[in-house]
């Protein structure tokens, strides 16, 4: 086998291994978790939502230390499973201070939708005011955007699953 081919195979193997694990900061070579959560600030979250144009987008802000967030999370998963094939995208934004806390929770709930973590480089007040000025910062908080990217729903506090079920049905039917 040629030197060039061995190098390419080695590079590919390292890339694949690196995409499935991450290293704890400051601890060389120690595998800490199977996947990672991208950090996002408010402007970055707005860009992610805008990139979903043509789909109904459900954004849910949550944290593992928030009892109502934990209580409603199975409904987030259920709604995603019910409507994803019809065009619903879910973006769950964790307010935990590090991904190592959020990832086991997400894995336990089989949260197969987009999961990100709020960037620690942006304070909570700036995040809130930049993302949505009507949001006072309480968790959980949820937004729904229609296929044109227009906000159709906002709720600070636990959402009503039946109301969102109805809204998703209407928005995905083109109403």
Tens of pLDDT along 77-88?
999 999 999 999
Q: Is 174 left (phi over 0), alpha (psi -120 to 50) or beta?
A: left
Which of 58, 27, 85 lies closest to 159 in space, CA to CA? 58
Return the percentage of the chain with pLDDT > 90, whole number: 78
Residue 101: per-residue pLDDT: 94
- C-alpha distances out from residue 172 to 58, 93, 117, Å: 12, 23, 27
Considering only residues 56 and 22, tell me which one the structure prediction assigns the higher pLDDT. 56
Q: What is the pTM of this model?
A: 0.80
Q: What are the sequence ranges of the domains in the chain?
A: 1-34, 36-172
Residue 6: per-residue pLDDT: 45
Work out the pLDDT band at 174, boundaries 50, 70, 90: confident
Which of 57, 45, 47, 46 lies closest to 87 in space, CA to CA? 57
97-144 pLDDT tens trace: 999 999 999 999 999 999 999 999 999 999 999 999 999 999 999 999
- C-alpha 5: how far from its chain's center? 38
Query: Candidates 3.40.47.10, 2.40.30.10, 3.40.50.300, 3.40.30.10; correct CATH number of 36-172?
Result: 3.40.30.10
Residue 35: per-residue pLDDT: 65
Q: Do the beta carbons of residue 115 and residue 107 sit within 8 Å?
A: no
């Amino acid at each position: 086998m040629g030197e060039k081919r061995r190098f390419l195979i080695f590079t590919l193997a390292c890339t694949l291994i690196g995409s499935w694990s991450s290293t704890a900061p400051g601890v060389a070579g120690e595998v800490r978790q199977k996947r990672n959560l991208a950090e996002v600030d408010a402007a970055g979250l707005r860009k992610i939502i805008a990139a979903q144009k043509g789909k109904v987008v459900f954004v849910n802000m949550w944290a593992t230390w928030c009892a109502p967030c934990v209580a409603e999370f199975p409904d987030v998963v259920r709604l995603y499973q019910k409507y994803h094939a019809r065009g619903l995208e879910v973006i769950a934004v964790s307010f935990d201070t590090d991904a190592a806390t959020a990832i086991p929770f997400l894995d336990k709930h089989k949260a197969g939708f987009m999961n990100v973590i709020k960037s620690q480089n942006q304070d909570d007040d700036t995040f809130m005011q930049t993302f949505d000025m009507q949001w006072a910062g309480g968790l959980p908080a949820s937004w729904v955007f229609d296929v044109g990217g227009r906000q159709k729903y906002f709720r600070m506090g636990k959402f009503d699953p039946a109301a969102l079920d109805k809204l998703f049905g209407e928005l995905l039917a083109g109403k």
